[in-house]
Chain A
Amino acid sequence: MLDALQEGFFLFANWQNLMLLGLGVTIGTFVGAVPGMTTPMAVALTLPFTFTLHPVSGILLLLGVYKGGLYGGSITAILIKAPGTPAASCTLLDGYPLARRGEARRALDIALYSSCIADFISNLALILCAGALATLALAFGSPEVFTLILFSLTIIASVSGDQLLKGLGSAAFGLILAVVGLDLVYGTNRFVFGQVELMSGLNFIPVLIGLFALPEIIAFFGRSESVRKHNPLAGVGATLSDLKKTLPTIIRGSVIGVILGAIPGIGGAPAAFLSYSEARRTSKNAANFGKGEIEGIAAAESGNNGTAGATLIPLLALGIPGDITTAIILGAFMIHGLRPGPLMFQDNISLIYALFIGIMMSSVFLFVVGKTFIRLISRIADIPHRILFPVVLVLCVFGAYAVNNTIFDVTIMFVMGLLGFAMLKLQIPAAPFLIAFILGPMLEDNFRQSLLMSRGSWTIFFSSPICWLFWSLTVLAVFLLVRRNVGSLN
């Protein structure tokens, strides 16, 4: 084993690998920060450049892009309320209010620290517990994922603030919009109304940008631009005490991210929301969540980035890609004549070790690149709104178009913007809509797949200990939330 480890170290230890890893993280962070540019898009665009590289160099470049992209999505979510990725939409719940108070740098710092620590923990889990986590992941079938998503949806009650009924109604809007497109089982149209573009459903990014960034811009035109109140924390980064305060949240979020990341098909968004929900449930500052609480940012980012290394567990250990990005990375392995899975651990163990060393180094690169980025871009939040918001409008239009190269998505973004503005005026919270819209398809797909497997019998949802665990947690969460909110239903 030591020989293989030594060989792996020599495979990794050259300037080209270090530079490519750093370049990958930089590209990923930049792309993740541009609304409309997704991480899978960036990894796919980088893939052709890896053809002529050594397999280790090429795969590390792609992994760098992947990890940078996961973090980069939080930057625009915090600064301009336009999340670069679905998972980053959880970060904006507390990140943007902090930025509006002039504490953008503090919010960005906490997001970075949480991302790096969670990424590091996730990488450790990949290296040390890949076998055990892969076995656990295989125990998750459709019924287990359904109950897990159902439990994740209890966060809706938490983010509804003092308006639980309106929050639930907002979530129902999100669930219904997530239904648009071709039916998974029968392939029939649902709310398509003859529009070919609607057959693949509504894309996340235009909906998210429309729902969060546009209403903010529209509302700005109804306000007088006021001089900001003096805030002693304006322009100041996160302190050691901030980090100490959020560390338990970061570790808990990382563990949630690792477990959910190891399950193929789950992704960062549910991990971020579940981590956020757990942080709010256990925090002393629960009332501040959604109003600019650094624990909220830490929970969302650690949940999201905790999936980074763990998503590679089913890829490397079983040869199963956990999401679109790892599917592209699987393609890169195959282009270089490698086939991830148990056999790769026998035949190419030194290459695996080289990748592990590179993956651990990527957390360091993420920190360095993130710190540099923050210094440059945290000033965006200081730009007067009369200039910033028109700029964000144009950026949103380009971003919404770039996802699928269709003007239809731009129209969807504008329509969602109007809906978001109406919700703002009627004081309907938008966060439950967003959570339901992201988790909705997973909920319905796994619900119907389970019923297909059981030939229509509902007992399948109670067929395993994992299902029972999540049912118990859901009932407990609902009980606690109803008890807390019973006086403030609206």
Chain B
Amino acid sequence: MNKHFFSGVFMLAVGLLLLLLLIPYGIDTPKKIRYAALSPTYYPQIVALILSVIGAAIIFRNRKPLKLKETDEPDAVHPNAQIRIGSFLALLAVYSLSLEFLGFVLSGALALATSLILSGERRAIIIIAMSLLLPISLFLFFFKVAYVPVPNGLLAPFIRWI
């Protein structure tokens, strides 16, 4: 089976999930509706139905195995591609969870340093300078110029005087 087939399965699955579960339980419908077309579920149901039909059509058209047309050229794929992508996704998860606790500057600096190393940058001066300067500059711009209350996390006691 190929990517097209899996795309079809994915769309059909999401469409059916919407029709059978998410729309009935995820959308609050008033008891009395004057016109059916005005119901909060009417439009999402149409879209979900279309999605399911498209998914089924893609499955039908790709039921026989096809030769794959790859996005990346074979020589462009990194030898440790899966490890690198997996590590980066783990980094994204940690980065996302640490934003509130560590604050944007500290978590940004750590995420930047880690991702620079992961991406293959080895010059310490670049890694340190970028990791410090970028999050601090962005913090100062958003906090002082745009008045965006960026969370400071652990650095809050030190940043208060700015």
B47, B72, B115, B150 — most chain A CB neighbours (10 Å):
B47
Q: Mark A386-423, 1 if CB is under 8 A from B, else 0.
A: 11011101110110011001010011001001100000
Q: Mark B13-44, 1 if CB is under 8 A from A, else 0.
A: 01100100010001111100111111010011
Query: B130: which A residues are within 8 A, CB to CB?
Result: 387, 390-391
Q: Given A176-B48, A191-B22, are A456 and B35 also a contact pair (CB < 8 Å)?
A: yes
Is B99's CB within 8 Å of the partner chain A? yes
Q: Given A218-B85, A387-B130, are A179 and B38 also a contact pair (CB < 8 Å)?
A: no
Are A451 and B37 touching (Cβ within 8 A)? Answer: yes
For the complex formed, measure the closest distance between the CB of A88 and the CB atoms of chain B, giving whole angstroms: 19
Are A166 and B100 touching (Cβ within 8 A)? Answer: no
Are A394 and B72 touching (Cβ within 8 A)? Answer: no
For the complex formed, measure the closest distance between the CB of B114 and the CB atoms of chain A, giving whole angstroms: 8
Are B96 and A411 touching (Cβ within 8 A)? Answer: yes
Query: A485: which B residues are within 8 A, CB to CB?
Result: none
B36, B37, B118 — most chain A CB neighbours (10 Å):
B37
Kindly report which residue of chain A lies nearest to residue B86, judged by CB atoms: A221
Q: Among residues 207 to 242 in chain A, which have CB atoms less than 8 Å away from a CB atom of chain B?
A: 217-218, 220-226
Query: B121: which A residues are within 8 A, CB to CB?
Result: 386-387, 390
Q: Among residues 447 to 464 in chain A, which have CB atoms less than 8 Å away from a CB atom of chain B?
A: 447-448, 451-452, 455-456, 458
Is B92's CB within 8 Å of the partner chain A? yes
Instruction: Report the bound CA distance from A395 to B10 in whole Å.
Output: 31
Are A390 and B27 touching (Cβ within 8 A)? Answer: no
8 Å CB contact of A402 from B47, B88, B142: B142
Query: B37: which A residues are within 8 A, CB to CB?
Result: 448, 451, 456, 458
Q: Given A386-B116, A393-B111, are A221 and B4 also a contact pair (CB < 8 Å)?
A: no
Instruction: Report the bound CA distance from A183 to B118 in whole Å.
Output: 44
Query: B146: which A residues are within 8 A, CB to CB?
Result: 37, 41, 45, 402
Q: Given A166-B4, A179-B43, A188-B28, are A387 and B10 also a contact pair (CB < 8 Å)?
A: no
Query: A135: which B residues are within 8 A, CB to CB?
Result: none
Query: A168: which B residues are within 8 A, CB to CB?
Result: 50, 54
Instruction: Report the bound CA distance from A390 to B93 in whole Å.
Output: 15
Q: Mark B80-97, 1 if CB is under 8 A from A, else 0.
A: 011011011100110110
Is B78's CB within 8 Å of the partner chain A? yes
Instruction: Report the bound CA distance from A165 to B142 in whole Å.
Output: 42
Are A176 and B18 touching (Cβ within 8 A)? Answer: yes
8 Å CB contact of A391 from B27, B134, B147: B134
Instruction: Report the bound CA distance from A35 to B47 in whole Å.
Output: 30
Query: A456: which B residues are within 8 A, CB to CB?
Result: 34-38
Query: A431: which B residues are within 8 A, CB to CB?
Result: none
8 Å CB contact of A222 from B85, B115, B148: B85
Query: A222: which B residues are within 8 A, CB to CB?
Result: 72, 77-78, 81-82, 84-85
Is A489's CB within 8 Å of the partner chain B? yes
Are B3 and A426 touching (Cβ within 8 A)? Answer: yes
Query: B116: which A residues are within 8 A, CB to CB?
Result: 386-387, 390
Q: Can you pick out 10 interface pairs between chain A and chain B where the beta carbons lie within 8 Å of each other?
A: A165-B57, A173-B14, A186-B30, A221-B81, A224-B77, A387-B121, A390-B115, A390-B130, A410-B99, A426-B6
Interface residues of A (CB under 8 A from B): 34, 37, 41, 45, 165-166, 168-169, 172-173, 175-176, 179, 183, 185-186, 188-193, 217-218, 220-226, 385-387, 389-391, 393-395, 397-398, 401-402, 405, 407, 410-411, 414, 417-418, 424-428, 444, 447-448, 451-452, 455-456, 458, 489-490
User: Other than the known A183-B28, A222-B78, A407-B99, what 6 A-B pairs have Cβ atoms closer than 8 Å?
Assistant: A188-B27, A193-B26, A222-B84, A390-B111, A395-B134, A401-B104
